[in-house]
Amino acid sequence: MSIRKRLKILVVEDDFAFRTLIKNILQHAHHQIMEADRGQKALEILEKTKVDIILLDIMMPAMSGIALLRLLRSDPRMSDTAVLFCTSLSEKKTVQEAVSLGINGYLVKPISAKSLREKVNKVAGEIRPIAGNPRRTMAQLEVNIGSYRELLLAFAQGTLPQLRELQSREGNWNSMELRDSFQSIVATADNLGLDSIKYAATQALTAISSAAPDTMCKHLMNLELELERLAELVPGLFYTTV
């Protein structure tokens, strides 16, 4: 049994009908979908929100998919975000360039619901679950599912305001304060069996001494996203564990 994430996916596609098709397929798979009809709109969304996967069209007006991908890969806050390209057979050369820039896969138009789900699931399989073995954690803590839910919710609700306050400072951080915050999150996440949150906090802790402000913002956004997901999943935890 593990607690899996509800993926946050950004669909960047200028064709309304195709964008709606992708959104409907992925919503049926219970993912959270955001939309952008052009590259600049996608950047505005990504400045405020960390996503798991970007589905990106190659041919778009003003800013092409390749141009947007270059910007993503050069920005420390977004460089590790998974990207799936949507392409046609005639764009083979562009796909080769995209591969060199580090895309996670591509879909050839016209796409099928099955192929889209398979590509997304492949990327999703590479993403850490929120909790790898909650049954074992509950046994170690000697709590039932109801008490475990309460512990997780208290952790999420108590930590999120702290992270948002740190983000609001935009680089004016005290390294000792950051270290204390991240060490506390690592320890609590470890006790609660929260794999992805422990990993994100450990990455942030490791980066304190050398990270530029943009990189630290990325770590804070990653942690915030993981905790937001946890808060979303907790009410239905009994039903979302598999």
3-state class (DSSP) for residue 105 = strand
Let me know whether 83 and 150 are in one domain: no
Local confidence band at 226 (pLDDT 50, 70, 90 cut-offs): confident
The answer to whether residues 171 and 110 touch, using CB atoms and an 8 Å cutoff, is: no
Taking the C-alpha atoms of residue 126 and residue 137, their distance in angstroms, rounded to an integer, is: 22
For the chain, the first-to-last Cα distance in angstroms comes to: 5
- Residues 79-109 have pLDDT tens digits of 778 899 887 756 677 777 888 888 888 888 8
Let me know whether 15 and 112 are in one domain: yes
Taking the C-alpha atoms of residue 101 and residue 98, their distance in angstroms, rounded to an integer, is: 5
Give residue for tokens 């009994």. Answer: 238
pLDDT of residue 41: 94
Longest dimension (CA), the chain: 59
Position 9 pLDDT exceeds 80? yes
Among residues 28, 1, 31, 29, which one has the least CA distance to residue 229? 31
Among residues 169, 166, 149, which one has the least CA distance to residue 157? 149
Give 47's contacts (C-beta < 8 A, 6+ positions apart): none
Of the ranges 53-67, 118-132, 171-185, 225-239, the best mean pLDDT one: 53-67
Domain count for the chain? 2
Among residues 8, 44, 73, which one has the least CA distance to residue 224? 8
Taking the C-alpha atoms of residue 234 and residue 240, their distance in angstroms, rounded to an integer, is: 9
Let me know whether 71 and 42 are in one domain: yes
Domain that holds residue 108: 8-124
Q: Could you tell me where the beta strands, DSSP code E, fall in the chain?
A: 8-12, 32-36, 53-57, 82-87, 105-108
pLDDT of residue 230: 83
Average pLDDT score over residue span 137-160: 90
Within a domain: 235: yes
Average pLDDT score over residue span 188-207: 87
pLDDT of residue 129: 65
Joined together, the tokens standing for residue 223 give 């942690």
Let me know whether 75 and 106 are in one domain: yes
> What CATH number is attached to the domain comprising 160?
1.20.120.660
- Residues 18-37 have pLDDT tens digits of 999 999 999 888 788 999 99
pLDDT of residue 242: 39
pLDDT of residue 79: 77
Local confidence band at 239 (pLDDT 50, 70, 90 cut-offs): very low
What's the Cα-to-Cα distance from 9 to each of 12, 93, 129, 133, 144, rounded to whole Å?
Answer: 10, 26, 16, 25, 33
From 103, 124, 145, give the residue that closes a domain: 124
- Residues 35-54 have pLDDT tens digits of 999 999 999 998 888 888 99
Within a domain: 100: yes
pLDDT of residue 241: 42
From 104, 124, 144, give the residue that closes a domain: 124
Let me know whether 141 and 116 are in one domain: no
From 124, 157, 179, give the residue that closes a domain: 124
